[in-house]
Amino acid sequence: MLTDKFPSVSLSHTPTPLEFLPNISKQCGTNIWIKRDDCTGLAFGGNKSRQLEFYIGHALSLGADILLTTGAVQSNHVRMTVAAARKSGLDIQVQLEHRVDREQKEYQNSGNPFLVKLMGVEPFYYPEGEDEDGADKALYQRAEKLKKEGRTPYVIPLSNARTPYGALGYVAAAEETLTQVKQLKLNVSAYVVPTGSASTHAGFLTGLRILVQDTPVIAFCVRRDATAQKNRVMTKIDSLCELMGLKDVVEEFDIICRDETLQPGYGLLNTKTEQAIALMARTEAILLDPTYSGKAFAGLLHMIEQGEFGAEDNLVFLHTGGTPALFGYPELVE
Active-site annotation holds for 10: no
Q: Which helix (H) or strand (E) holds 68?
A: strand 66-72
Of the chain, the end-to-end C-alpha distance in Å amounts to 47
- Confirm if 69 and 43 have CB atoms less than 8 A apart: no
List all residues 6 or more positions away from 291 whose beta carbon is below 8 Å from its beta carbon. Answer: 74, 76, 196, 222, 266, 267, 322, 325
For 11, phi and psi rounded to 5 degrees?
-125, -15
Q: In angstroms, rounded to a whole number, what is the distance separating the alpha carbons of residues 116 and 247? A: 39
Q: Which helix (H) or strand (E) holds 95?
A: strand 91-97
Q: In angstroms, rounded to a whole number, what is the distance separating the alpha carbons of residues 185 and 179? A: 10
From the list 25, 75, 189, 293, the catalytic residue is: 75
Closest C-alpha among 209, 19, 43, 206 to residue 111: 43
Q: In angstroms, rounded to a whole number, what is the distance separating the alpha carbons of residues 160 and 138? A: 16
CB crowding 246-269: b at 16 or more within 10 Å, else e: eeebbeeebbbbbbbbbeeebbbb
Closest C-alpha among 319, 249, 252, 311 to residue 281: 319
**Looking at the annotation, which residues are catalytic?**
75
